[in-house]
Amino acid sequence: SGEDFSVPTSARSPHVGNASALSSKVGINLSTKWMAKPMPAAEAISMIVRIQRHLGLSRPIQRVKTFDLSPTNVEIINILASNSLNIKELVIGIGNLELATFDVSWLQGIANRFGGDLHIAVGNEPDREGVHGSLVQRAVGLIKHAMPDVQVTVPFAYSIMGRSYPVDLSEFRKEFLDEYAETLASLDYLTINIYPFLTAGVKNVPLESLKGPEMTFLSTQLAALRVAIDKVQSHSRMPVAIGETGWPSCGAARWHPYNFAVLSHSQEYIRNVAHWIESEVSAERIVAGYLFTAFDEETKGTREIERHYGILASDGSFKRPESCRSNATEPAVAWLETDYPDCESDLDWMVKNFENVGLMEKFANRGIDGSL
C-alpha cells in the first residue's frame, strides 16, 4: 500500500503477550482454504489493508488468526513469519483433527522467525466436535512446555454457557466444566466465538441491539461470560479474546435468523463491531477481537449460509447486493417450510423433534441425517 503503519516494538501491552499497546485490538481471520479458486497467500495478506479501509478503522489491523495447518494456511503463516510485514500478532490455529499429530518443532521454527507475538489456538470449538478434553489438554501442555514464551488459548463457542441471563447468575454448562475445567485453568486467555446474528428475529430482542454501534447484546454476552469465568477462576482474572464474530451477507432465507442474512445487515454489523473492538469501550471486556472472516468461502460447509461471512468476496472485491444469488430456501429443506412453518432454525427444530418417530422417515427419505 506504500503506507507505513508500524509502531514502536518497545510499546508493550499489559494484557496478553507483547503486542504493541499502540496497535488496534481488531484482528482478522484469514483463510483461502474454502475458496473455489484459492487466492495466492501473499495477495490475501495484502487485502488486510483494503479491509481496514473498507471498515473505516482509524488504525491498521495488525493481528491475524488462522484455523488449521492445511497447506493454504501454512503458506500464509510462512509468509507472515518470514517477512517484515505489519502484523504484530499471529494466532496459529491447530485443527481438531490435528491435535494428536501436529509438529511442535515446526511451530518452534515459526516462533523463531516471527518478529511479533505468536499465539497458538488449540483446536476450534472442540467441545462441539466431540473432542475429548484430555486430548486438548495434552496438546496445550505440550506446547506450553516446548514453547514457554508463546501464548496458548482454546477457541470455544458461546454454547459453553449454561446460563447467561440474568448476567449475575451466569455460569458454564456442567458438561463443559466436567470435560474442560483443567484445560481452562491452564490457558493464557480464553477465546470465545460469538455471533449475535444467531439471535436475530428472537422475540423481544431488538435488531438494533444486535448490530447497532453500541453492541449492546454482544457486550452483555461478554459480561455474562466474565461472570462464568470468575466463578471457576476466582483467583485470577483470565483475559478474554473474541476468536470469531461476523454476520453472513447471504444464505438460505428460512425463518430466523436466516432471513436476516443480507448484505446491509452484514456490513452494518461488521463495521460497528470492528469500531467497538477498536474503541476503549471494549477494553473492559476483551483484549482482542478477530472478525470472521476476510473472504467468502464458496466450498465450505453443508449449508449455503456458511459460505457468505466474508467481509470481501472471494476474489477480494467489495460485495454487492446483486452478488447474492442464493438467498432462498435450499431445495433439500424446502418441504420444511410447507409442512412445518413454525420451524425457526435447523438446530432448534431438530432438537424439539428429535424423538418424533413420524419425522424420522421424512428425514431418511430426503437424505437428511440431522447433522448441521
Delineate the domains of the chain, giving CATH numbers in brackets: 26-328 (3.20.20.80), 331-372 (no CATH)
Q: Phi and psi of 143, rounded to 5°? A: -70, -45
- Between CA 185 and CA 183 the distance in angstroms is 5
Find residue 244's DSSP bridge partners.
Answer: 193
Comparing CA positions, the residue from 276, 211, 268 lying closest to residue 242 is 276
Residue reference for cell 413420524: 358
What is the distance, to the nearest Å, from the Cα of residue 131 to the centroid of all Cα atoms in its chain? 18
- Length of the chain equals 372
> Contact, 263 vs 281, CB < 8 A?
no
Residues of the chain with pLDDT under 70: 1-22, 252-258, 302, 326-372
Residue 84: predicted pLDDT: 76
User: Half-sphere exposure of residue 25, counting CA atoms within 13 Å on the CB side?
Assistant: 25
End-to-end CA distance of the chain: 40
> Contact, 348 vs 370, CB < 8 A?
no
Q: What is the pLDDT of residues 189-243, one digit of tens each?
A: 999 999 999 999 888 999 999 999 999 999 999 999 999 999 999 878 999 999 9
Residue 23: predicted pLDDT: 80
Residue 7: predicted pLDDT: 28
- Between CA 18 and CA 12 the distance in angstroms is 5
Residue 324: predicted pLDDT: 83
Residue 11: predicted pLDDT: 30
Residue 29: predicted pLDDT: 99
Residue type, 236: S
Residue 14: predicted pLDDT: 35
Residue 206: predicted pLDDT: 96
Residue 20: predicted pLDDT: 47
pTM of the model: 0.84
The dihedral through the CA atoms of 295, 70, 63, 78 has a sign that is negative
- What are the DSSP E strand ranges found in the chain? 26-29, 63-65, 89-94, 117-122, 151-153, 155-157, 161-163, 171-172, 190-193, 240-245, 288-291
Q: Phi and psi of 6, rounded to 5°? A: -70, 155
Residue 303: predicted pLDDT: 75
